[in-house]
C-alpha cells in the first residue's frame, strides 16, 4: 500500500522535474505508476495539482502552495535522517556521565581521553556526587550513565561491574610500631579511625562487613573525600580506610603503609549503571563498551 508520504515524495519529484517521465526515471518507477500516484493524491485532496502540457507538467496555484510546504517538510525529514546517521556514527552528540570525584580522578580520566580521541565531536557533560546522589540523578534523566561504587540494591538499574577494588587500612609513621605485625579487625578498630562520611557507599560497604563480624566502629574523623583520608592518615591523625587502587602513590612513595589485617575485607567493584527501561544512546553504548573492553 502506498503511504501518503510516498505520494508526497512522488509529487515533489514531479514538480522539480516538471515531467512525469523524468520523475519516473529518478524514482525508478514506471511513468504510469507516477501518473497513478499523482491522480491518487489529487483525488484525496480533491484538488488539481498539475497542468498537463505537451512539454511536460506545471504546478497549478494550489499545487504551488502545496509544494512550498511539502518540499520544506521533505527537506526537514532528510535533515532529520542525516542527524540520526550522525548520532549513530558518533559525529555529533552528547554524553552525560555521573561520577564521583575519586572514581573520576583515578579510574575514569583515561577512558574519557581515549573516547574523546576516537570521537572528538561528542560533547561531555559530567555530574559529580555520591553513589546515592548519582543514582537519583540517573533516574531523573540528568545523566545517561553513572560510574558508581558497587554494590547497589536498586531493581530499576542495570549494573555492569567493570573494575575490582580492595578496601584496606593505611597508617603513618606514628602507628608504625603498633601495626608492625598483622592485627585482627577487632583490635584495629580500637585505634583512632578515619572513614568517609556515613552516606558514602564505600563506607557503608565496609561498615556492613564489619558489623557482620560483630564489630562496631566509632570513627575519630568522618571526611568527604578519599584524598582527605590519605592526607589525614599521612599526618598521623589515625588509621584510614581507603581504596587500595586509589592510594598507590602514597603507598609506593612510603608516605603511608598498608595495615596487614588477619581478615581481608571482600573485594568489591566499580561499575557502570543505567536505567533498564531506557535504551542507551549510541555514544553511551560505545563508552560502556570502551570501559568493559579496557584500554
Average pLDDT score over residue span 62-66: 94
Summary mean pLDDT of the chain: 93
Question: Is residue 218's pLDDT more than 90?
Answer: yes
pLDDT of residue 64: 94
Helix (H/G/I), strand (E/B), else coil: 263: coil
* Residues 241/209, Cβ–Cβ less than 8 Å: no
Average pLDDT score over residue span 77-100: 83
Question: Is residue 2's pLDDT more than 80?
Answer: no
Nearest-10 Cα torsion for 108, 240, 205, 135: -40
CA gap 96, 131 in Å, rounded: 16
β-pairing, 268-275 with 221-223? unpaired
CA gap 142, 159 in Å, rounded: 18
- Give residue for cell 531493581: 155
In the 8-state DSSP scheme, what is residue 180?
S
- What cell does 188 get? 584495629
pLDDT tens digits, 229-249:
999 999 999 999 999 999 999
pLDDT tens digits, 75-88:
888 877 877 877 77
Question: Is residue 50's pLDDT more than 90?
Answer: yes
CA gap 216, 208 in Å, rounded: 9
pLDDT tens digits, 25-41:
999 999 999 999 999 99
In which band, very low, low, confident or very high, does the pLDDT at 1 lie, cut at 50, 70 and 90?
very low
Amino acid at each position: 500500500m502506498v503511504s501518503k508520504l510516498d505520494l508526497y515524495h512522488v509529487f515533489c519529484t514531479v514538480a522539480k522535474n516538471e515531467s512525469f517521465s523524468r520523475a519516473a526515471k529518478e524514482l525508478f518507477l514506471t511513468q504510469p505508476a507516477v501518473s497513478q500516484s499523482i491522480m491518487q493524491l489529487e483525488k484525496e485532496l480533491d484538488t488539481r495539482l498539475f497542468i498537463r502540457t505537451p512539454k511536460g507538467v506545471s504546478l497549478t496555484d494550489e499545487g504551488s502552495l502545496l509544494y512550498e510546504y511539502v518540499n520544506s517538510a521533505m527537506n526537514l525529514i532528510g535533515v532529520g535522517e542525516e542527524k540520526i546517521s550522525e548520532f549513530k556514527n558518533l559525529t555529533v552528540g552528547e554524553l552525560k556521565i555521573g561520577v564521583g570525584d575519586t572514581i573520576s580522578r583515578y579510574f575514569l580520566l583515561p577512558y574519557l581521553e581515549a573516547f574523546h580521541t576516537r570521537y572528538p565531536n561528542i560533547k561531555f557533560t559530567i555530574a559529580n556526587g555520591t553513589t546515592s546522589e548519582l543514582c537519583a540523578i540517573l533516574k531523573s534523566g540528568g545523566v545517561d550513565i553513572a560510574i558508581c561504587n558497587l554494590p547497589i540494591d536498586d531493581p530499576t538499574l542495570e549494573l555492569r561491574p567493570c573494575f575490582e577494588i580492595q578496601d584496606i587500612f593505611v597508617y603513618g609513621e606514628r602507628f608504625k610500631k603498633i601495626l608492625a605485625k598483622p592485627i585482627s579487625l577487632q583490635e584495629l578498630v580500637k585505634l583512632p579511625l578515619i572513614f568517609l562520611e556515613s552516606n558514602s557507599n564505600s563506607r557503608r560497604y565496609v561498615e556492613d562487613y564489619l558489623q557482620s563480624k560483630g564489630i562496631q566502629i566509632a570513627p575519630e574523623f568522618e571526611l568527604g573525600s578519599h584524598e582527605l583520608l590519605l592526607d589525614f592518615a599521612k599526618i598521623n591523625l589515625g588509621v584510614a580506610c581507603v581504596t587500595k587502587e586509589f592510594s598507590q602513590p602514597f603507598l609506593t612513595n612510603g608516605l603511608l603503609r598498608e595495615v596487614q589485617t588477619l581478615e581481608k575485607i571482600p573485594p568489591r567493584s566499580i561499575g557502570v549503571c543505567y536505567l533498564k527501561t531506557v535504551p542507551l544512546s549510541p555514544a553511551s553504548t560505545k563508552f560502556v563498551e570502551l570501559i568493559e573492553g579496557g584500554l
